[in-house]
Amino acid sequence: MTTMTTTENRPPLNRRLAEFGTTIFAEMSALAARTGSINLGQGFPDTDGPEEVREAAVRALRDGRGNQYPPGPGVPELRTAVADHQAHHYDLRFDPDTEVLVTTGATEAIAASLLALLEPGDEVIALEPYYDSYAACIAMAGGRRIPVTLRPRDGAYRLDLDELRDAVTDRTRLILLNTPHNPTGTVLTRDELAAIAALAVERDLLVITDEVYEHLVFEGEHVPIATFPGMRERTVTIGSAGKTYAFTGWKVGWVTAAPELVTAVRSAKQFLTYVSAGPFQYAIAEALRLPDSYYDGLRATLRAGRDLLTAGLADAGFTVYRPAGTYFVTTDIRGLGESDGFAFCRALPERCGVVAIPNAVFYDHREEGAPFVRFAFCKRPEVLQEAVSRLRRL
């Protein structure tokens, strides 16, 4: 009889990954499916992106473009479209041949960047609560994560710049940023980003910046940190078609950075996936050429979703931290007489047929995250309406 262990006392999963288990998104989506609940947990839209982009993928498949291994850095059409997008929206100029890399979603971009840029023992400063793959990828790279915690202040989560400065040591290799920020919905301001940029230059740090929600900003503005003085050469910027064009299943992401950084990230990427799926790259190249009105429409739809859900949650007794960006809202459940987000989220399907995510999973300081719960609003209005009426029963 075979066993799952290689030796009596040694489990198959190595120590670096043992603490991570199954991602909360898989756990909660399975719970939603099992209980027939409305899934406001995992962030994916319940309406696909633009029809013409879908058709572009079909055309590419039929025409045999990308059905065999595409080039390692990505198809030239997509690399050029990514470079043009950065120039059009942010006046950032990148050479499509040496400064753009296509990845299998932002997830691979994060993994490849950390695997490429970290030596074992290097410290990585990440904003806590942090997206779950950051912790796992830092661990896989043998790095040490140093969380700097965003805390609620005046109705929104804010970064304490002094705490960030104090977190930098001689072993700090990079700052891992995420703005607009999942799960809090915080959009870092121009002043905050200028201060982070100045710190990175002063302490000679690299920055990996996860900007997958760049077009989902309702208040304020999205400013890429690569636009600040001294940052272009030390920043790896990550984008994703999943969020911007509502095709999360296609897993098309990208990196823009200086040539040496792109070369480094590509060195890791080539041994993770070698290349990314071909036909979708051609379709996303077309998506990146959509007029600005597309982004206005996307924002307007999501703003309406945000307003509907946040009002409903407040009505139901949650304390709501109104997100300035992303398609997530973080709430505090203490107003409902609850304090354990995990227990609350595990019981919620049974209690009212809704699924949410306990923010504690995004914390090293679990107790700091305990009473917070995240809901996604990238769903049709009638779905959000139904979720709200169910939550009012709490």
Per-residue binder mask for ligand PMP (CB under 6 A), 15-54, x = binder: ----------------------------x-----------
| Three-state secondary-structure class, residue 324 | coil
Choice from 105, 278, 325, 358 touching ligand PMP (CB under 6 A): 105
User: Number of residues in contact with ligand PMP, rule: CB under 6 A?
Assistant: 14
Interface with ligand PMP, residue 186, by CB under 6 A: no
Rounded distance between C-alpha atoms, residue 348 and residue 360, angstroms? 16
Choice from 45, 117, 124, 131 touching ligand PMP (CB under 6 A): 131
Interface with ligand GLN, residue 42, by CB under 6 A: yes
Asked if 373 and 316 touch (Cβ cutoff 8 Å), the reply is: no
Say if strands 100-104 and 252-256 run parallel, antiparallel, or are unpaired: antiparallel
Interface with ligand GLN, residue 179, by CB under 6 A: no
Structure token pair of residue 125: 């400063």
In the bound state with ligand PMP, the residue whose beta carbon lies nearer, of 37 and 113, is 113
Choice from 37, 182, 186, 244 touching ligand GLN (CB under 6 A): 182
Rounded distance between C-alpha atoms, residue 241 and residue 277, angstroms? 13
386 residue type, one letter: E
Structure token pair of residue 190: 């121009």
Interface with ligand GLN, residue 43, by CB under 6 A: yes
Choice from 39, 179, 182, 359 touching ligand PMP (CB under 6 A): 182
| Beta bridge partner(s), residue 374 | 330, 357
In the bound state with ligand GLN, the residue whose beta carbon lies nearer, of 25 and 342, is 25
Query: Exposed/middle/buried for 269, CB within 10 Å: 0-12, 13-18, 19+?
Result: buried
181 residue type, one letter: H
In the bound state with ligand PMP, the residue whose beta carbon lies nearer, of 113 and 240, is 240
Min dist CB 199 to ligand GLN, Å, is 27
Task: Name the residue among 238, 345, 265, 285 with its Cα closest to residue 73.
Answer: 265
Residue 15: CB atoms within 10 A of its CB come to 8
Binding site for ligand GLN (CB under 6 A): 23, 25, 42-43, 182
Binding site for ligand PMP (CB under 6 A): 43, 105-107, 131, 178, 182, 210, 212, 240, 242, 248, 251, 253
